[in-house]
Amino acid sequence: MESMQEINVYLKNDFDIVAARQAVRNVSKSMGFGLVDQTRITTAISELARNIVLYAGEGSIYLRVINNGLRKGIEILASDDGPGIVDIKLAMQDGYTTSRGLGTGLPGTKRLMDEFSIKSSLGEGTQVIVRKWLR
């Protein structure tokens, strides 16, 4: 039943970033994540959502509850049809930014979550999938 729980947030401006934070906070809270993990997950989604608005203009965040047979977790897919990332290795480096930010968005998100994968094609868009498992 819970594995069917899915929420999509369409993103086009910074108010949608706040909405994405709220959605993921509610889901992670209802799943039983502790306060610090809720904050980690919410912060990670805020970074991914901002990247979408900033670099792609629009896109979506998909949240769902997953289960690997042993543990329950939350999976978030951040997807856009934007210009894509030229050099993913560089984008994953701390301090690297093309937008005058702090350059901590992607590497920081990876540290906040248990699993992180990124796929990007120039001219086609970027998909980031992150997961956090209940301890």
Partner 1 sequence: MEIPILKIDNCLVVSIQGSLSDTAALDLQESLARDISQQEPVGVLVDLTAVEIVDSFVAKVLGDISSMSKLMGVDVVVTGIQPGVAITLIELGITLGGILNLQKGIDLLRASCK
**Binding residues vs partner 1 (CB under 8 A):** 14-15, 17-18, 21-22, 25, 35-36, 38-40, 42-43, 46-47, 50, 94, 101-102, 104-105, 107-108, 111-112
77 Cβ contact partners less than 8 Å away, ≥ 6 residues apart: 61, 62, 127, 128, 129
What is the closest distance, in whole angstroms, from the C-beta atom of residue 72 to partner 1 in the complex?
Answer: 20
Task: Give the gyration radius of the chain's Cα atoms.
Answer: 14
Question: Residue with structure tokens 């990332």?
Answer: 85
Question: Nearest approach, Cβ of 24 to partner 1 (angstroms)?
Answer: 10
Query: What's the closest the beta carbon of residue 81 comes to partner 1, in angstroms?
Result: 22
The residue among 83 and 108 lying less far from partner 1, judged by its C-beta, is 108
Residue 106 in 3-state DSSP? helix
CB-nearer residue toward partner 1: 90 or 122: 90
Residue with tokens 């594995």: 3
Which of residues 95 and 123 has its CB atom nearest to partner 1 in the complex? 95
Report the 10 Å Cβ neighbour count for 14: 12
